[in-house]
Structure 1
Amino acid sequence: MELTTVWFLLITVLFTGYFILEGFDFGVGMLLPVLGRDDRERRVMINTIGPVWDGNEVWLLTAGGAMFAAFPEWYATLFSGFYLPLLLILIALILRGVAFEYRHKRPEASWKRRWDAAITFGSVVPALLWGVAFANIVRGVPLDANHEYAGGFFNLLNPYALLGGLTTTALFLTHGAVFIALKTTGDIRHRARKLATHTGIAAIVLAGAFLTWTLSIRNTPAAIVLAVVAALALAAGVAAAHAGREGWAFTGTALATGLAVITLFAALFPNVMPSTLDAAGTLTVDNAASTPYTLKIMTWVAVIFTPIVLAYQGWTYWVFRKRIGVTHIPN
């Protein structure tokens, strides 16, 4: 297997891990004003992701770094053409991180409400815009023969991309609700499980429409199989949530999220950014890649450090695996 293909697969894995892990804590943030009836319940919700949310974002940083080093042409075109939506995502993530740190610094209810709103905003914006961005990558964007983006911001707000944004938002809401049900006790657990069933139905409809549209644009046998399995996993996850089996429900929504991302990359390969203007402008794993020597060095680094990072993050989730409830939150 060529190193360009290896690094395409590794970037796929990194974005898959990011969407699975960051997906549920985006969902928790979006549901903060919905499920959190008082400050103690909102603190419970925040505490379910408190030990892990910043570690989840490392997957995005690593994916971006890998893209920059392995496929610099892809990185440059993506970040110049998608500058505004990516900037909005960055601002939202910064605001969200600050809100987690500052919310508890003062006791006033008004102070906490403002930071709660910041957490919600910082969760909704990335959940929506990541779907828009990845849908545009798969659909193709106007690139000229020099691989430079020739469109504007509103070119990115096409119906297919907006459907992609709604799909990721609904999927993360469901994933987050299931995670809250899995990690909490008492009344909030039951309300989260019930809500996951309702948002899950919407996610099934949106995801089904989006994946069908995706396969009508670009399809490979692998992408078709992955899309079907992703849809089945989501349906099974929602059914498990309805039955009160939170562990199986979370497994289903995690698989659905991950397989949906893999489906997009499978439909894209061997392209990394198709051009809708000129076939010569399409970026592929070959014409967007770094030199073979660079890829070889990066591969050795990845082989050494990737297992260490995975082991550390797995240990973190194991340590903070127990359920929490309002009884654990002091007045």
Structure 2
Amino acid sequence: MELHDVWFVLIAVLWIGYFFLEGFDFGIGVLTKLLARNRVEKRVLINTIGPVWDGNEVWLLTAGGATFAAFPEWYATLFSGFYLPLLIILICLIVRGVAFEYRAKRPEERWQTNWEHAIFWTSLIPALLWGVAFGNIVRGVKIDAHKEYVGNFWDLLNPYAILGGLVTLTLFTFHGAVFASLKTVGDIRVRARKMALGLGLVTAVLALGFLIWTQADKGDGKSLIAMIVAVVALVGAIAAIKIGREGWSFALSGITIAAAVAMLFLTLFPNVMPSSLNEEWSLTVTNASSSPYTLKIMTWCAGVATPVVLLYQSWTYWVFRKRIGTQHIADAAH
């Protein structure tokens, strides 16, 4: 296996890690409107991700940085062609981080309500747009002979990509509901389980349609295996949450995300951005990659730094592993 193939796999792993971790982050943000009945319950939900949400976003920064260094042509075409949706995602992530930090800085009702609205919308919009973006990457976009994107924003809003966006939105919200049931106690935990069950059924219908469409259009034997794993894991996650096994359900919903993302990358390889105008104009792991020397240096750096990051983040989750409820919110205790 060549180094550019290795880095394609590593970038796929980084996106899997990002969607697994940030997925339930986004889900919790959406659930602050759908699940929480009052401000105390909103605080409970936000506190479940309070210690980890910013660390989860590091996976996105690493995936973007790795793409820039390992596949500069891919990075340039992707960020120029998808400039508007990626800018919207970036703005949402900035506002979302500010909302988490500033929501409780003042006691006024209007102040906190506005920031809570911001948390909801800046969680929902990226969860939708990431699916649209990856749907377009897999489907193929208008890339000319100069490896430049020549389409427009409206070309990205095609039925396949929109379905992909709905899948990521519902899947992340389901993942977040399972996480909420795993991290909370009391009535909110019970309602999170019920909501996860309903969301899981909706997700299963949308995801099955999207994965079958992907397999029929771009798939092979390897992607078929990944699709089967994703479907079986999603069904298992729904069954597990129905019988109250939140831990198993969360693990299986994570496997669903991992297998689904793996399927997309398997259907993509050896392309990194297929051209819908001419297959010969597609960006591939070969014509979009950096020099072998650059990839070699990157491999050594990643080999040293990655285990340290994984150990630190795992330790963070272990420290903040306990459940919380409304009784743990100081204002509610009075």
Give the structure-2-normalised TM-score: 0.98
For 2:324, what is the secondary structure of its paired residue?
coil
Partner Cα separation in structure 1 for residue 126 and residue 238 of structure 2? 23
For 2:104, what is the secondary structure of its paired residue?
helix
Deviations 1:266-305 (A, max 9, x none): 1101100000101221000000000000000000000000
Deviations 1:304-329 (A, max 9, x none): 00000000000000000000001110
Partner residue in 1 for 2:176: 176
For 2:290, what is the secondary structure of its paired residue?
coil
Matched AA of 1:322 = K
Deviations 1:146-189 (A, max 9, x none): 11001000000000000000000000010000000000000000
Matched AA of 1:13 = V
Deviation at residue 255 of structure 1 after TM alignment: 0.6
Partner Cα separation in structure 2 for residue 91 and residue 66 of structure 1? 21
Partner Cα separation in structure 2 for residue 221 and residue 72 of structure 1? 30
Matched AA of 1:29 = G
Partner Cα separation in structure 2 for residue 280 and residue 210 of structure 1? 26
For 1:272, what is the secondary structure of its paired residue?
strand
Matched AA of 1:137 = I
For 1:104, what is the secondary structure of its paired residue?
coil
Partner residue in 1 for 2:315: 315
Partner Cα separation in structure 2 for residue 166 and residue 157 of structure 1? 12
Partner residue in 2 for 1:125: 125
Partner Cα separation in structure 2 for residue 87 and residue 119 of structure 1? 17
1:258-269 correspondence to structure 2 within 5 Å: 258-269=258-269
Runs of 4+ in 1 over 2 A off after TM superposition: none
Partner residue in 2 for 1:49: 49
Identity, % of aligned positions: 63
Partner Cα separation in structure 1 for residue 114 and residue 33 of structure 2? 11
Deviation at residue 108 of structure 1 after TM alignment: 1.5
Matched AA of 2:269 = F
1:224-263 correspondence to structure 2 within 5 Å: 224-263=224-263
Give the structure-1-normalised TM-score: 0.99
For 1:144, what is the secondary structure of its paired residue?
coil
Partner residue in 1 for 2:298: 298
Q: 1:7 aligned to 2:20?
A: no
Partner residue in 2 for 1:215: 215
Partner Cα separation in structure 1 for residue 34 and residue 64 of structure 2? 32
Partner Cα separation in structure 1 for residue 313 and residue 281 of structure 2? 39
Matched AA of 1:15 = W
Partner Cα separation in structure 2 for residue 109 and residue 208 of structure 1? 42
Matched AA of 2:71 = F
- How many pairs align? 331
Partner Cα separation in structure 2 for residue 325 and residue 279 of structure 1? 54
For 2:262, what is the secondary structure of its paired residue?
helix
Partner residue in 2 for 1:206: 206
Q: 1:154 aligned to 2:154?
A: yes
Matched AA of 1:206 = L
Partner residue in 2 for 1:96: 96
Partner Cα separation in structure 1 for residue 174 and residue 184 of structure 2? 16
Structure 1: state its 5+ residue gaps. none
